Structure 1
Amino acid sequence: MRKIILLCLVAIFSMTVKAQIPVTDVANVTQSIVNSIQQIVHTSTTATNMINNCAPV
């Protein structure tokens, strides 16, 4: 039993591990930023309109 466990441990630790290079899609990140900014502007405009409509005349 010890030989099997030792053999398994040797097999596991003798494997080589290769890391993948991370890929960043710059166009997608840029579009996400633009969409977020547009959403913030829209939300701010809506909030301003609500405040202006609720203000006493």
Structure 2
Amino acid sequence: MSIVEEATANAANEVRAQSEVTIMPAEQFNEFIATLDVADVASNLIKLGTGCRRYARD
């Protein structure tokens, strides 16, 4: 592999790696993960689940 081909391959690999990884500060990441532990009220789902059904279940 020539020097130019190797440089091109390395550059392409670097671009691909950047698109697959999200870089953020540790504090922001910790806040993001903490929100996953908090349940949403999901009021729209509650409304859908308590309303009249459009079909009958057998």
* TM-score scaled by length of structure 1: 0.37
* TM-score scaled by length of structure 2: 0.37
Q: Which has the higher helix share?
A: 1
